[in-house]
Amino acid sequence: MHRGRCLPVAAVASVCKNTEFPDLCRGSLQKHAGKYDTVDSLTVLEMQVDAFKKQVRATNPAVTPEQRRALNLCKSFYLDAKTTSMPHAISFRDGITIYAAMTMAAQDMQNCDEEFRKAAAKSPVCDLNRSLIEMSENCRAVSNMIPTR
């Protein structure tokens, strides 16, 4: 059984090495790889999108009312159709839609930073934004690895 768990982890590493941020890719996915019978670019992408959503949902820093308004808007940016439409695009192996959606997600994260500037407030999610932008870069790279049917 131990040997079986190593194979998915190695497969994650194999896909992640071809991304812009391979350490982030491996680090956010390896503990989940054992849950999959087969790990390929498609399952790595599914895991990455799931990790992206979990990271956003877990964000709840102590903030001022002005920061809270901006933060709520940011969360709506993060969790909108870009990530909710992903399972459909992944199931159809639609790398073009996935690539475009993750590009828009990265732009939304930059818009999030702008919301804090407008509120003249320090962003409590600056590091999260950077991490999510890097994750979206990885998703775009992996979307280019998806074989078509």
Amino acid 24: pLDDT: 94
Report pLDDT digits (tens) over 96-123: 988 998 888 888 888 888 888 887 887 8
The vertex-144 CA angle with 138 and 149, nearest 5°, equals 135
Question: Do residues 98 and 143 touch, judged by C-beta distance below 8 A?
Answer: yes
> pLDDT at position 82, please?
58
**Cα angle, residue 81 at apex, residues 77 and 85 outer, rounded to 5°:** 145
Indicate the pTM of the whole model: 0.81
Q: Within the chain, where are the H helices?
A: 2-16, 22-33, 41-57, 65-78, 81-84, 86-91, 95-118, 126-143
Work out the average pLDDT over 138-148. 90
Distance CA 135, CA 68 (A): 24
Residue 77's pLDDT is 76
| All structural domains of the chain with their residue ranges | 45-143
pLDDT of residue 2: 38
Asked if 131 and 55 count as a contact pair (C-beta separation under 8 A), the reply is yes
The architecture of the domain spanning 45-143 is Up-down Bundle (1.20)
User: Using CA atoms, how far apart are residues 12 and 27, in angstroms rounded to an integer?
Assistant: 10
